């Protein structure tokens, strides 16, 4: 668990900038300046900088990554070993271990994923280069604002979409990794395959799993970056008696001492990337998601954008998952061996 937590969080933080590029491409599909990975990376860096642009959202990312990977590797190793000992076929044990591990870890990392994704899409505070539909000062302000305006459940918005992306990703990643490791060990005729093959097996496993699950990642990003309003805010405005109406300041609309208009139904809207305007909103722009269903989201994407819509940001996602997996799994294996040697040395030096 210690080795997995250090390896996983290190890989996530190192590749955070590419994850930001991927989020911009998926959340702003009509923005021409983010059309390619290199253009998006250069544009964000030039306009918004490294820390507040490419590394926006890194704080919640780390807060979810470290405990999430600790839980993940603990559950994965425990379930994999027990399934194999119980006579389960190895491939099925690897798939099931990755599936169960991500299911347990998701409780920790999904809220951090919501905060991370929104801050990545927003970029710097008061960002003049990209209009995301919200403007958070930082992680704490984002948490408070989301809870106040959208309710605590919003921190778990897209939970189903996230686990439907990550469960198959983790299962495929570790199934590919174990198989690639077996092939490499057979090729070298030794359990020690060397650093280049360690990086290659881990990188190919993560990259292949990342490409396969990219459509689910696009849907997850679109769902989590929607802005929603609490139904109670509209109903309170509608049911307030005219004689008791008073002016209020805050994030919600100001109430005036006049008969309230009919309450509009609760709305869900996607992030707007257009500049502020007093005219009617244009018909073009990012596809609006009025559903939290992954399968419905896949259908909407395909109808509006075709196969290309399913694979928005596939380039940075493939690179990110490859390098992140390589870093995480190689560090995990290295730290695991070092900790085992330290444990053996401690046992030999202890007469008990």
pLDDT tens over the chain, length 352 residues: 888 888 888 888 888 998 898 888 877 755 567 878 888 888 899 999 898 899 999 999 999 888 998 998 899 889 989 999 998 888 888 888 888 888 898 888 888 888 998 999 888 888 888 888 788 999 999 999 989 888 888 888 778 878 888 888 888 888 899 899 999 998 888 888 888 888 999 999 999 999 999 999 888 888 877 766 555 544 344 344 444 434 433 333 334 444 555 554 544 444 333 333 333 334 444 455 666 678 888 888 888 888 888 888 888 889 888 988 888 888 888 888 888 888 888 777 655 4
Ranges for all domains in the chain classified under CATH 1.50.40.10: 1-157, 164-226+292-351
Residue 30 burial (CB count, 10 A): 13
**What's residue 339's pLDDT?**
86
The whole-angstrom separation of Cα 269 and Cα 286 is: 10
The fold for domain 164-226+292-351 equals Mitochondrial carrier fold (1.50.40)
Question: Which candidate, 212, 193, 206, places its Cα nearest to that of 325?
Answer: 206
The whole-angstrom separation of Cα 189 and Cα 337 is: 20
**What's residue 82's pLDDT?**
93
Residue whose structure tokens are 């996602």 = 317
Q: What angle do CA 7, 90, 175 make, to 5 degrees?
A: 45
> Are 93 and 83 a contacting pair, CB within 8 Å?
yes
Report, in angstroms and rounded to the nearest whole number, the Rg of the chain calculated over CA atoms: 23
Instruction: For 49, list phi and psi in degrees, rounded to 5.
Output: 90, 180
Residue 340 burial (CB count, 10 A): 11
Superfamily of domain 1-157: Mitochondrial carrier domain (1.50.40.10)
Strand partners, 227: 269
Query: What does the block give as tokens for 307?
Result: 């196969």
Q: What is the DSSP string of 276-334?
A: P-SSPPPS-SSPP-----HHHHHHHHHHHHHHHHHTTTHHHHHHHHHHHHHHHHHHHHH
Distance, first Cα to last Cα, the chain = 25
**What's residue 245's pLDDT?**
39
In sequence order, which ranges of 129-240 are alpha helices (DSSP H)?
139-150, 159-188, 195-212, 214-224, 231-239
219-to-119, 235, 287, 349 alpha-carbon distances in Å: 17, 30, 11, 54
35 three-class SS: coil
pTM of the model: 0.64
């Amino acid at each position: 668990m210690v080795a997995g937590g250090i390896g996983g969080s290190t890989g996530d933080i190192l590749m955070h900038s590419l994850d930001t590029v991927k989020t911009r491409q998926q959340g702003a599909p009509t923005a021409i300046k983010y059309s390619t990975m290199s253009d998006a990376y250069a544009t964000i860096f030039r306009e918004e900088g490294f820390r507040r642009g490419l590394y926006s959202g890194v704080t919640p990312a780390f807060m979810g990554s470290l405990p999430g990977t600790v839980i993940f590797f603990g559950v994965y190793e425990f379930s994999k070993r027990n399934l194999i000992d119980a006579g389960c076929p190895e491939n099925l044990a690897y798939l099931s271990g990755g599936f169960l591990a991500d299911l347990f870890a998701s409780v920790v990392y999904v809220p951090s994923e919501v905060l991370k994704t929104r801050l990545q899409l927003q970029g710097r505070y008061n960002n003049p280069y990209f209009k995301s539909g919200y403007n958070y000062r930082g992680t704490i302000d984002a948490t408070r604002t989301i809870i106040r305006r959208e309710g605590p459940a919003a921190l778990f918005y897209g939970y189903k979409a996230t686990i439907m992306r990550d469960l198959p990703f983790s299962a495929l990643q570790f199934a590919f990794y174990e198989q690639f490791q077996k092939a490499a060990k057979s090729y070298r005729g030794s359990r020690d395959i060397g650093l280049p093959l360690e990086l290659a097996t881990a990188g190919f496993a993560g990259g292949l799993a990342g490409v396969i699950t990219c459509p689910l990642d696009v849907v997850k990003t679109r769902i989590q970056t929607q802005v929603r309003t609490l139904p109670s805010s509209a109903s309170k405005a509608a049911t307030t008696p005219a004689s008791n109406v008073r002016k209020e300041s805050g994030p919600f609309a100001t109430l005036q001492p006049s008969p309230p208009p009919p309450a509009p139904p609760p709305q869900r809207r996607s992030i707007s990337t257009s500049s502020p305007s007093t005219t009617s909103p244009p018909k073009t722009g990012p596809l609006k998601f009025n559903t939290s269903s992954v399968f419905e989201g896949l259908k909407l994407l395909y109808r509006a954008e075709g196969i290309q819509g399913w694979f928005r940001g596939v380039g940075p996602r493939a690179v990110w998952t490859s390098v992140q997996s390589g870093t995480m799994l190689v560090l995990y294996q290295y730290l695991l061996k070092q900790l085992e040697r330290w444990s053996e040395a401690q046992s030999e030096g202890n007469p008990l």
